[in-house]
Amino acid sequence: MTEIEAKARIEYLRKTIEHNSKLYYIYDSPEISDYEYDMMFRELQDLEKEYPQFFSPDSPTVRVGGKALEKFEKVTHEVRMGSLLDVFSFDETSAFIEKTDAVLGKECIFSVEPKIDGLSVSLLYENGSLVVGSTRGDGIVGEDVTQNIKTIKSIPLTLPDKLPLLEVRGEVYMPKTSLEKLNQEREELGLPLFANCRNAAAGSLRQLDSKITAKRNLDIFIFNIQRISGKEFDSHTEGLDYLQSQGFKVIRDREKLSGKDAVIDKITRLGEKRYSLPYDIDGVVIKADSITEREIIGENTSTPKWAVAYKFPPERKETTLNSISIQVGRTGVLTPVAELEPVKLAGSTVSRATLHNLDFIRERDIKVKDIVVVQKAGDIIPEIVSVVKEKRKGTELEFNMPNVCPSCGEPVYRDEEEASIRCTNPSCPAQLLKSIEHFASRDAMNIDGMGPSVVKSLIEAGLIHNSSELYYLTKEQIMTLEGFAEKSAENLISAIEKSKKAGLAKLITALGIRNIGEKAAKSLASFAKDIEVLFNSSIEELCTIDDFGEITAESVINFFSHPQTRELIDKLKEAGVETEYVLTKTDDVLSGLTFVLTGTLPTMSRDEASKLIESHGGKTSSSVSKKTDYVVAGSEAGSKLTKAQDLGLKIIDEDGLKSLINGD
């Protein structure tokens, strides 16, 4: 093939692949088989490799991902990517519509459309080509995720109209089927599961390696024009129709409506079908359609007056409480769990819900065989809201906690300071399983691949009896477990070896001491410097640590007074696990300053940022208060940022933190 023939073939393949991609991913009407598409795609890849002089950044092959980045660059949004005022009832929705109608002196025509539960992004096109894709961030500054954006097949890389400038806003989401597949793969690898489609989409779009993003099957709906040159539109709908003609996948199931009855009817219809949709929606957006009328209605300081987002309430259903079982946690707490008649709720089948403790059951007068009302808190965690007492038949049974542990048969006791009932046996099998799962988890020793199923298999095979024995496993022992071959066993051994250098704070977290979470573990490690100190510390000494009280101090004293703890630590030290606090203090430039970290930082984890602050003499806190000197906010910052703004605290980003350290 000559160069001229190769160039012509490459151009033909690019055009044909893009055409068929649009038919498949945007219009759901493919004209060719997946096999034909794949063969064309492979041929294009081969030709571009053979003739690199014809490479183009607009080629469909960029969708498979490129070279991994070291960090995301920042993007300042020319048009603020703001948020909408939320409303939570039909009364609030009606009030918004009535107020808008009153301002205009007539019925406002609204565009009513589903609110996709995903991650908001901006797409910037210049002369018809995609040049920048960025996250919303704080609305003013986001992150450049262009490489990852290009892997989303429903996003056009070039547009038919070569307008000088076009910036659109959309919501990147993960389809429900993609989340199920991803979580299945992660479970098999022993990795933490994504709680919902939104979290999965956010985590996938912010991968530094775009090849990972490409495998996550993300999608997008475009819902707004941010900026445009060379075109003008009188209405929001007119603008979206134009975007659709340019190959964008615009928000579906939208209607132009006026009057509160019509709008509320639309909200109701969308609410009834939300769980049957292939993607998650968490509400309905109601916005004035006319651009001129939007200008008349005006804006608040941070939100427009011409639009609101109606948020769906949790779906509730009635079902029967068939029985109450008991789960034993890693600290020996016995937790009652409602075994329910399976019911379809918020898009999945629910058959269990936690009942927390006996006090919770008594306060709500819950009995076995009751008809109960259930919902998913945050559309994720099943919970019992109430009992339908009028449907009782007199055959319902009062529940009592057992006197012995259902896992080991040893006596249980009621903790006088809490509502908890605990198993007295430190060698309880159920506690062992949960304890080792926690020890290996990401927030503790972070042993990659050591998920619940692997821990269970190791215990059942008699290979481990406590956490320290993880460090004495051999490749040959792991290969005896189902699902492990030589390479996967080597990977797990490597992850176990790597975890030895997790550090004292992570180790203290991993030990699962009552009342000691990540923050307290860091404070304890900073105080002790060596785990041996904790075997000889007094309550008075521990109470000198910030945020430590008598209860927390007593928990530490009790844990390190057990002979089993001494034996465990000795075996960990013998295996080479670091038990000393290693922090190279650079200087005291942040001395006396307290920082709170919130949101996702561009180039470092919160743990890394915390260590950086401490290495320069500063302190970190988990809660915002008037004593906080700086709040370091990343993307998707939540309530901590809001509280900081309310208190008038200094808010900085990652670059601001680095500037402080550099003395700028």
Element (H, E) at 456: helix 452-460
Active site includes 115? yes
Distance (Å) of CA 463 to CA 253, 425, 455: 56, 21, 10
Distance CA 172, CA 31 (A): 26
Report DSSP letters for 319-370, one per residue. EEEEEEEEEE-TT-BEEEEEEEEEEEETTEEEEEEE--SHHHHHHTT--BT-
**Residue 172 to residue 525: CA distance in whole angstroms:** 40
Q: What is the DSSP string of 562-620?
A: SHHHHHHHHHHHHHT---B--------TTTT-EEEEESB-SSS-HHHHHHHHHHTT-EE
Q: What are phi and psi of 476, to 5 degrees?
A: -65, -40
Gyration radius (Cα) of the chain, Å: 29
| SS3 track for 491-560 | HHHHHHHHHCCCCHHHHHHHCCCCCCCHHHHHHHHHHHCEHHHHHCCCHHHHCCCCCCCHHHHHHHHHHH
Adjacent-strand bridge partners of 324: 338
Smallest CA-to-CA distance from 596 within 637, 625, 626, 632 is with 632
Which of 15, 22, 67, 115 is catalytic? The answer is 115
Judged by phi (left if over 0) then psi (alpha if -120 to 50, else beta), residue 474 lies in: beta
Residues tagged active-site: 115
